Structure 1
Amino acid sequence: MKKSRTRIYTEKKLILGDIVEISSAKFHHVSRVLRIKKGDIVSLFNCLDGEFLAEVVFLKKRSCDAKIIKRIRKEELQNDIWILFAPIKKIRLDFLIQKVTELGVSGIFPVFTRNTIVSRVSQQRMKKYAISASEQTDRLSIPEVFSSAKLTKAIDHWPQGRKLLVCDETGNGKSMIETLSMKIFDNVSQWAILIGPEGGFEKAEIEFLANQNFVTLVSLGPRLLRADTAAIASLSCWQSVRGDWKRAS
């Protein structure tokens, strides 16, 4: 058998000995781009069952069947960190989704602020890029991609117990590293980070956010960062202090 690092996410139940069908767009990528053939080995994974090696046993016109032959990873406990952001233009949005997925987010939540330039985003497209990034970076989980919402609505329906760090470009927030290192947050297990729009939050929005008891304003330093850069920088800070970067690979 050939060893393969071709990883394919599936929502189907994975059980040793079962045959799983790989179909539709996923099959097109496997057959046309990766040129998988009968007898080749692929990895199938999801966050509930773990990761398994599977042998391609039958090729059809628009799908193929793969027999699960070996479990190589058990399900794992994942970070619980969301990223909220004001939508940006398509190419940079695709980049943002890829990078925050690589950095281990569990939730991706686009929110519309008063200065958001983009009027709508595709939830399906974001999920597609999140799945692709997970397949390429050895993640078992796929981040949940939430439907977009207005900032005020997202805050009004905020889940109890989840801490929200708001990246405030006005300079009112403390250093993000300093904030994350505070002992009062040692028992927090559910986190979220909010990145503002390219034009920044309006004063009323910052005041609205600052008045929420689950919000802490933080600073990413003296320079103004683009939204995608801020997302990467803030998640890197969180991972280095509260995430899994201290864990051996």
Structure 2
Amino acid sequence: MPATPAWPPKSAPRLFVEGALSRAQSVSVEGNQAHYLARVMRISPGDTVILCDDISGEWAAEVIEVRKREIVLRAVEHLRPREAVPDFWLCPALLKKDRFDLVLEKATELGVARIQPMITRRCVADKLNTARARQIMTEAAEQCARTALPEIGEPQKLDALLRDWPTDRIIFFADEDGGEPARASFASHSGPAALFTGPEGGFDDRERELLRSFHNVQPITLGPRILRGETAALAATALWMGVSGDWQT
């Protein structure tokens, strides 16, 4: 007798939708999401789509109707609640567009709670399309089966970001001039944390002095080599997740 196929199928497409979901609720998707389901995934009535609402978690939904510009689904079963992610902020200096896109995508996959872009003196960019950034992060969350979307902040200048910094959140500052080894530093602190990484040209002397004088900063070193901005941000995030985050379980 053949085995009963797993349900929902692992191949089912995943989408984030706006608004809280509930059992038997009808959901309509349009635009790019409808195009993706109909033209790329070739879904048909009766097929399964996994929906996430960033509120209640993950739902299996049945495709009810495939229209020309709209897909109608019905939430069938609540699969799992919205996940709890470590209270870790990544605060990277803005980089060139393609490199910063990589940071947004991979940091989402790694499990950060918030990405707070910084503007420093040596940044080659000083603006970010946050709507586009949010879309990149949403697609990354869908790909990696994440049920909680990270927050994205508007870019802030370094001094302004420090001015309003929460007193209970330690800053790990990736300093090219050296500091405590990152792994040991991560292991010695618990609670809310953030990682500051620099732009292509690094932090300048004045910025480095400002950071080192701040009351809640721990300078760290990321090894013997000078890393690109995107490499430093992602390598250190991965290390933090392994030492203090949700990679321990």
After superposition, give the CA deviation of every residue in 1:152-194 in whole Å (9 maximum; x if it has no partner). 11111112311111110112x1101011121xx23x1x11111
Give the corresponding residue for 1:175: 181
Shift of residue 61 of structure 1?
A: 2.8
> Helix, strand or coil for the counterpart of 2:135?
helix
1:69-84 equivalences under 5 Å are: 69-84=76-91
Give the corresponding residue for 2:4: none
After superposition, give the CA deviation of every residue in 1:191-216 in whole Å (9 maximum; x if it has no partner). 11111011111111111111111211
Which range moved further: 4-13 or 137-146? 4-13
After superposition, give the CA deviation of every residue in 1:93-119 in whole Å (9 maximum; x if it has no partner). 211111111100111111110111113
> Helix, strand or coil for the counterpart of 1:155?
helix
After superposition, give the CA deviation of every residue in 1:125-147 in whole Å (9 maximum; x if it has no partner). 11111000100111101111111
CA 1:174 to 1:54, structure 2 compared with 1: closer, same or farther past 3 Å? Answer: same
Native 8 Å contact 1:2 1:40 kept in 2: no
Give the corresponding residue for 2:194: 192
After superposition, the CA RMSD in angstroms is 1.5
Structure 1 position 214 matched with structure 2 position 220: no
1:1-80 equivalences under 5 Å are: 3=9, 4-80=11-87
After superposition, give the CA deviation of every residue in 1:196-242 in whole Å (9 maximum; x if it has no partner). 01111111111111111121111101100011111111011101111
Shift of residue 32 of structure 1?
A: 2.0
Structure 1 CA distance for aligned equivalents of residues 208 and 233 of structure 2:
18
Native 8 Å contact 2:173 2:220 kept in 1: yes
- One-letter code aligned to 1:88: L
Structure 1 position 119 matched with structure 2 position 121: no
Native 8 Å contact 2:174 2:198 kept in 1: yes
Q: Quick one: which of 103, 106, 109 aligns to 1:102?
A: 109
> Helix, strand or coil for the counterpart of 1:54?
strand
TM-score (norm 2): 0.93
TM-score (norm 1): 0.93
Structure 1 CA distance for aligned equivalents of residues 204 and 96 of structure 2:
20
Shift of residue 75 of structure 1?
A: 2.4
Q: Which runs of 5+ in 1 are unaligned?
A: none
Native 8 Å contact 1:167 1:217 kept in 2: yes
Percent identity, aligned pairs only, is 34
Q: Which runs of 5+ in 2 are unaligned?
A: 1-6
Native 8 Å contact 2:84 2:148 kept in 1: no
Which range moved further: 209-218 or 31-40? 31-40
Give the corresponding residue for 1:157: 164
